[in-house]
Amino acid sequence: MTDHALHMLLVEPETLLRRTVSLTARSLGLGMVHEAASVEAARRLLGQRRFDGAVIAVECVEGEGERRYDMTLVELIRQGLSLSDADMPIAIMADRATTELVKELQGRGIGRVILKPFRAKVLLEAIADFSGRQAA
Q: Is the pTM of this model over 0.75?
A: yes
Report how far Cα 93 is from the mean position of its chain's Cα atoms. 7
pLDDT at 17 over 70: yes
pLDDT at 51 over 60: yes
State mean pLDDT over 20-40: 89
The whole-angstrom separation of Cα 56 and Cα 66 is: 22
pLDDT at 134 over 50: no
Q: What are the phi and psi torsion angles at 123 (to 5°)?
A: -65, -40
pLDDT at 136 over 50: no
Element (H, E) at 40: helix 39-48
pLDDT at 90 over 90: yes
State mean pLDDT over 58-72: 78
Kindly report the length of the chain.
136
pLDDT at 2 over 60: no
State mean pLDDT over 88-103: 87
The whole-angstrom separation of Cα 120 and Cα 14 is: 12
CB 51 within 8 A of CB 69: no
